Structure 1
Amino acid sequence: MSPYDPSAFPPFAVTVDLVVLTVRRHALCALVVRRGESPFQGRWALPGGFVREDEDLGLAAARELGEETGLHAHDPAAPAPDNGAHLEQLGTYGDPRRDPRMRVVSVAHLALAPDLPAPRAGGDANSARWAPVETLLHHESDVGRDGEQPVPLAFDHARILADGVERARSKIEYSSLATAFCPQEFTVGELRRVYEAVWGVALDPRNFHRKVTGTPGFLVPSGGTTTRQGGRPAQLFRAGGAALLNPPMLRPEV
């Protein structure tokens, strides 16, 4: 058998790209950064970066998440801490032409977190902002100030974003992942607005309340109430221990 010769294969780099989703002002939003360097200088893109020589993919994604948002990734099987985010691998993107610099394979990750503050730019990004997913998906990077001309998101990030949004929309049907968009304690109304923002539909409040409180292990009463939504005090809940919902919360057909 011939000895392995690394020089016989073309070199390529590995990156991680992040689809970071949160709910702001009752809308599903994604984090985008304006690139400060070539290629695609000045274009909007998903946050991410190259994987370092001494880190695996999960550590690289968690590092980029922390640098871009200040959030700490956590075990998807455990409840999120106050400053944590759900982080999972989304998919691999390896079109030879996706990056003009060299052959670059990206391992995209999906991150979900409660209402997040204004992001800070870091690395090769010179600005960062939250943009409504509907704007990004239908008008791509038309997320700038008034008067800017819309241009496509950099690289293949429009496709990665679409895949991440669909993953989130489908997973909240059969898992308790929607609670990752909520604070540690939340009302049924706040959870319903998460479903409405992610799915882009209006839900009947009474039917929704009956479904989520009747699904075993989905929600656990915290024992407290709140009036932060105005009106009568509303009961507060925490995420239950169920990872899968039975029956599932099927999204309405639109």
Structure 2
Amino acid sequence: MLHAIRTTFLAPLALIASATLAQAQAADAEQSAALFDALGLPEMIEIMREEGIAYGEEIATDLLSTSANAKWTQTVSDIYDVDQMRGGAAAALTQALAGQDIGPMLEFFTSDLGQEVIKLETSARRALLDDDIDAAAKQAAGDALEAGTPRVQMVTDFITANDLIDTNVVGAMNANFGFYMGLQDGGAFKGDLTEQQILTDVNDQEPQIRQNTTEWVYGFLMMAYQPLSDDELQAYIDFSKSKPGQALNTAMFAAFDQMFVAISTELGRASAQYMAGQDI
């Protein structure tokens, strides 16, 4: 009888716990979706697609030794499918934020300052699609670094708080490794290169990747945050250093690293097939 009684009472408790967990997960997913929008990621991913299309043209010129034809352009466009990118990034961010308190993140990025920061970052990222603006931003940032201006010191504090150089370098190297592995999978190396040889080659690229990353990050941030007052930028830095800010930063890198590695691997595989004259 005791076993029967316990079983009778345990079952409803398990159902209640399961329902409570499901409700909590639904609430987390809803908050995560709201945060995804508040961070301006739907528009930012559109810009990333444009960057990817331009990168596809570089691949055609540098690797495939040809100009991008309609077939290759369509292939790259399909790989950088904006709906798939949004869906994948949103799901990955939700997963990366599991167990985190999203409330303070939403509170900051739905505030007037948070929305201003997102608007400035998005606007700057779009502007840097222009090569001339990109070069000018890097030059201006380089001059500020050399002069050691107060603003560049604040931006450096922001970069350090978010570990932007190292994480972006790691992300770029992971994406490069994915591209090489895609080439390998597509038969570009005919089995002549091992995974370890590919890894060594990618590691050898680290100094150049670090230099390019540093120049781009400083150019982007100095340009983006120029309209902010020192107090506004300091408030953003303070949030970045907080526990919610650090958790969000970690989750963002995890989510987008996953997305870019997958895209780079597809690009590598498509490049190999194109080089071999196969149907893509």
- Name the structure with the higher helix share: 2
Larger radius of gyration: 2
Higher relative contact order (CA 8 A, sep 6+): 2
Common fold, TM-score beyond 0.5?
no
- Name the structure with the higher strand share: 1
